[in-house]
Structures are given as structure tokens and as C-alpha cells.
Structure 1
Amino acid sequence: MNGPEITLDVATELRLFVAHDRRHGSSTVVTDGSSTLGHVVESLGVPLTEAGALVVDGRAVPASHVPGPGEHVEVRAVERPQRVPGAPLRFLLDVHLGTLARRLRLLGVDAAYESEDIGDPALATLSARERRVLLSRDRGLLRRREIWAGAYVYSDRPAEQVRDVLGRFAPALAPWTRCTACNGRLVEADKDTVRARLEQGTQASYDVFAQCTACGRVYWRGAHHTRLETVVADAVREFGDLRAAP
């Protein structure tokens, strides 16, 4: 770029995306005089899905704003909880976020997940077609223009990933209502109805069952239920009332 110079401040939360020499205080950026502010921000490494308000000399501007000489730009972080237009709130996760998908489903959050790598264009198209928020740790994927909405998952630890998504989007929680395997809805199931799907030990030890309406998988309160109850209780305690926030 060889054009007007602007000064740019990136919110602390977003500085991990930019080069080390731009992570402290204001930095000078030379633009080409025709590129939009959105393009300038992304050229620094910040996905627009992570940018909140773009403020130029004290006033908010759209990403389509073309920076002029001497302008001071603030790139703020997305406000939390983030409101996504339309309803219901649904997610799409890329191939690397399988554990996060299962934990969101455990909490009753609609979380579609591709267990095979179908490619960035197909994921972006699916996000747009089904109006799902695309969750990924791939910055390049989040820059694709065809996605409906997206968000970067900041941690590589599943427990922190769950807290990040719930704190950012405040989805309605309805624990134990979704199949963790396929995202389908669970309904109560009579023991006699699902008996053929159960091992003899399970038949003898349990009487309360649920079944997925999509894939037919059967659920009961097995050996891992106490651990899962802790996961659910922690999430509900911390995030269960976020949707009531103004």
C-alpha cells in the first residue's frame, strides 16, 4: 500500500491476531486510498467476525468506510453477549471442534458438526444456507464472505471453549435434550421399546431411558453421568441467566 497514513488502535482482546510490532499502543498504517476499513483491518490479521465497533476520530463507521489521511481508528472487540440477528440461534462447527460440539449438544444447544473435512467453501455455504454461526479456529475460514455469521474460538481447551461460546452468544440452555452424537432431539423412551438396543447388563441396571428421534441412539444415566451432571450444573450456574441481560 502507498497512500494515506492512518493511526490504528486494536483492542487488547484482539491483539493476538496482529503482528508483534503492532500489539502495543497506536501503530501507523499506510493505506492505498481506496480499500475499505474492513479490508485494512483484515489485512492486519483481525477477522471481521471478531471486530466490534469501528470508530474513526470518535464516531462509529461501517466496515465499508474508506480511511482518509490522518484518521485515528479504533478497532473494538465484540460486545458480549453478542446479539445475532434472526432466530433461532444455531451453530456450525468445523472438523476440529468435535468435543466442543458434543458439549454444546449436552447443554441443549443446536450445534451442527462436520466430522469430515468438507472444505472451507462448503462450510461457508452451509453456514449461509442454514443461517448458522460458524465456529472455527481457522482465521482464513472466518474471512470468507459467504458465511452468514462467524466467531473465532480462542482456546484449544474444550472447557474454555464452552465458556467462550456461552459467554459470547448466551444461547438458551436446555440440558439433556439433544443427542451428543448427531444433534437430534431426545425424547423419553419406554424400556420395552428400546430393549433390543441394550446390553443385558444395562437392561438389568437401568429403567429410565431417552432416545434420539433422528439417529435412534439410546441414552441412560450410566457410569459417566455424574461427571456430565457436573459439566451441566457448572454451565447453567454461570450462564443460564445471560439471556435475560439487556
Structure 2
Amino acid sequence: MNQVYFRFYAELNDFLPTERRNFGFVHTLDKNPSVKDSIEALGVPHTEIDLILVNGESVDFAYLLQDGSRISVYPVFEAIDITPLLRVRPQPLREICFILDVHLGKLANYLRLFGFDTWYRNDYEDAELAQISSSEKRILLTRDMGLLKRSLVTYGYFLRETNPKRQLREILRRFDLFRLISPFRRCINCNGSVHSVDKADIREQVQADTLQYYERFSRCDDCGKIYWQGSHYKKMQAFVEEVME
């Protein structure tokens, strides 16, 4: 049996038992597994990791651990550009877009409200989520660590919060999205793009009293849902302003 020395940094400690948080510890190996398999066996999803150093050298997930290795594991660096050191994943995504598991419907609505491309269905199977995340280069958001450990998933994040509003703020902070907020440009219903539409063009789709009291309307390009600035819009606008502040 081989022994190695692990040290996890910052929020990666969220996944470890209390006695292993913020300390180096010895871990016993069976043969010479990959560093990815060893890390996930300890409970940390590979999608949370940006940098792995083994004996001071940056390695990829396939690196095979040897007896006596010292492994330092780091989360995403938000304030420091470590691109020249990265070995564990491809280049950063050009555009931020998401796919959410079946338990995050409310969060999906909030992300769409704030203008972010967000795929969600309440009947996705885990295998579908992993496949879509991989093929469409979408960040998979979930509270299911087993889902994030699937080999197909390159971009993913484990939500610490359980309340949808706090989850929204967590995502905006984690991926530094405040400057990209563009509310009311996506359909909350289906994620399609929403554009202004002439009042005359939707006369047959909206009740007469709504047409009488409102002048500005928008319509989803995909599902055809009609939006106008009624009392519900004002509540959503207040919520957007509160979060942005």
C-alpha cells in the first residue's frame, strides 16, 4: 500500500470531513490510481478544481500517483490569472451558459430573468445532463456530487446554498457575472430570446383590458409567450435591482 499527502485549499474543504479541512493529511492508496480518481474518492468533484500540484509541478487529471507524492489541490482562481499553469481542463469558456438538474427549476427562472442562457427540464436523466453539458459546453449546476463526478462533465459547480435566491447570488459571485446581467431578454418559460413586438401584432393573443392599459409588449421568439410591464414585471424589476445593488 502506498501513502501520499493531500492538502486541499479554500472552498474545496467544503467537501471534506471536519478533521481534514485546512490541514495536510495522509491518504493510503491501492496501487497507483490517477490523481482524479483519488481526489473524487475523497469526496471532491473534479469540476471544482482548477489546479493540481504534485511535488510542486502542475499535472492533469490522468497523472498516476506514486508513493510519497505531495498533492496540493486548488479551486478556481478568481483574482489571479494562472492560465500558463493549468493542466486539468481546456481553455475557459468563451460564453457562460448553464444547464441545471431537475431540482433547480426556480434557480433556472432567476438565471433566465437576469439574461443568462439556461437550459432546464424537470425530466432530464443524469446521463442526459452530463451529455448536454459536455457537447454544448454548458456549466452543469447541481447539488448532486455524484452527477459532477461523471467523466463526461468538464464544467460544473456544486451549489452550497439551498435557497434559490441565495443560489442566484452564489452563482453571480462565483462566475463573476454581475457585469453581464441583462434582465428581461430571455423567456423565463423556455429560455428563448425576447424582443419587442407591435401591439397590433398580438391583439388576438392578449385580453382586451390588458391591451387597453398597456402599450409596450414583448414576445418570445421560440414559444410565443407575451410579456408586458404589469404588476408582476414591477416586482421582478425590484428584485433585479436589489440583487444588482
Q: Aligned-pair distance for 1:174? A: 1.9
Q: Aligned-pair distance for 1:24? A: 4.8
The SS at the match of 1:196 is coil
The SS at the match of 1:28 is strand
CA deviation vs aligned residue, 1:62-117 (integer Å, no higher than 9, x gap): 2222222222222112223799634332211111111111111111110011122x
What count of residue pairs does the alignment treat as equivalent? Answer: 234
Q: Aligned-pair distance for 1:30? A: 0.5
Residue 68 (structure 1) aligns with: 66
Residue 54 (structure 1) aligns with: 52
Residue 206 (structure 1) aligns with: 214
Between 118-127 and 68-77, the greater mean CA deviation after superposition: 68-77
Unaligned runs of 5+ in 2: 84-90
Residue 149 (structure 1) aligns with: 155
Residue 124 (structure 1) aligns with: 130
Q: Contact 1:33–1:66 at 8 Å: present in 2 too?
A: no
The residue identity in structure 1 corresponding to 2:209 is G
Q: Aligned-pair distance for 1:46? A: 0.2
Report sequence identity in percent.
Answer: 32
The residue identity in structure 1 corresponding to 2:113 is L
2:42 counterpart of 1:41: no
The SS at the match of 2:94 is coil
The residue identity in structure 2 corresponding to 1:162 is L
2:21 counterpart of 1:23: yes
Q: Work out the CA distance in 2 between the residues paired with 1:103 and 1:138.
A: 20
Q: Contact 1:4–1:32 at 8 Å: present in 2 too?
A: yes
Q: Work out the CA distance in 2 between the residues paired with 1:77 and 1:198.
A: 49
2:148 counterpart of 1:138: no
Mapping for residues 1-246 of structure 1, pairs under 5 Å: 3-80=1-78, 85-116=92-123, 118-171=124-177, 172-237=180-245
Q: Contact 2:96–2:138 at 8 Å: present in 1 too?
A: yes
Q: Aligned-pair distance for 1:33? A: 3.3
Unaligned runs of 5+ in 1: 238-246
TM-score (structure 1 length as normaliser): 0.87
Between 136-145 and 59-68, the greater mean CA deviation after superposition: 59-68
The SS at the match of 1:33 is coil
